[in-house]
A = this chain, B = another copy of it.
Amino acid sequence: MATIYDIAEEAGVSIATVSKVINETGRISDKTRQRVKEVMKRLNYQPSVVASALTKKRTYMIGLLIPDLANPFFAELARSIEDHCHELGFNLVICSTDNEPDKEERSINLLRQKSADGIILATGGKNQDIIRNLIQQNQAIAVIARGMPSLSVDTVLVDDNLGGYLAASHLIELGHRDIAVIAEDLEVMSSKERVRGYRQALEDHHLPYREDRIRVSAFHVKGGKDTAGQILDEPDRPTAIFACNDLLAIGAMQAAYERRIAVPEEVSIIGFDNSILAAHMNPPLTTIAQPIQELGRQVVNLISQEINGDKTTKQRIVLLPELVVRGSTGSRKG
């Protein structure tokens, strides 16, 4: 690999001059600029970001913590974030944490050792201490798709409460009066909010709220399937299920399928996220859509402003979810 010294020598100038043409700083005569550029091209020179990072304190690398890259919702979100990072000249380092505080901490330490310019968090609803720490150490961070109500941190998320409300209202309007919920970890804010929205909808329609209709499940398909199985095996099973994400909803559909319970004829199922999976299920899944592209765009904007320091006030951007009616929900029979 050629270094700045090779270029300088070959072009008959000093390394400072080369540095200036690389960074387009200072004033350089057109003639030398051309000569230097020509040499750079000829030697296939790539300036070392690691060397420049040492003095500039910029690595042009952003870290992203998500629960699981294999979860289509997060994969799509990551893709959106990746694209917008590239537009601004950043690389994206993705770390899956499985929502395990251990892995979260390890990933964050790695990112700090590598001097990531910023860290985007889509995980870690619980131990907010980690985040507090980051803030305190003056690390540029932003939170996405997760509420951190008690923290002063840039955030972009969807109105989870409204989402839960929309989901439940849709089912209620279809005539359902007994609706079960498969929730993710209730310690996580956004999860709690979705359930709160559901409950609110019940109240607004003067329907009774039953604590035992709320079930917590692991956040993948299998968890949804197991939990839905328990729900459907009960003697007084509900006529509808609100699954707090699409993966859980798919699990629920499988549980119904295995029991020969028709969807939506005998049980309606609604999901949350509107990941690629939803549209392609059979029946296609009714769900609450998160504006994934927009979430990614906004969070990259926030963090880049944060990194560049041209922003001093934190903000919380709340996008609104939308109900997408497909084939997995129908009016209550019997």
Contact = CB atoms under 8 A, between A and B. Distances in A.
Contacts of A86: 95, 106
Interface string A81-100: 01100100001111110000
B280 A250 contact: yes
A94 B95 contact: no
Contact of A79 (B70, B82, B111): B70
A152 interface: no
Given A75-B69, A92-B93, A54 B50 contact: yes
A110 to B, nearest CB: 6
A82 B68 contact: no
A76 interface: yes
Contacts of A69: 69, 75, 78-79, 82
Given A82-B94, A96-B83, A283-B282, A113 B72 contact: no
A60 B61 CA distance: 14
A252 to B, nearest CB: 11
A12 B231 CA distance: 64
A47 interface: yes
Interface of A: 1, 44, 46-51, 53-54, 59-61, 68-70, 72, 75-76, 78-79, 82-83, 86, 91-96, 106, 109-115, 137, 221, 250, 253-254, 257, 276-277, 280-283
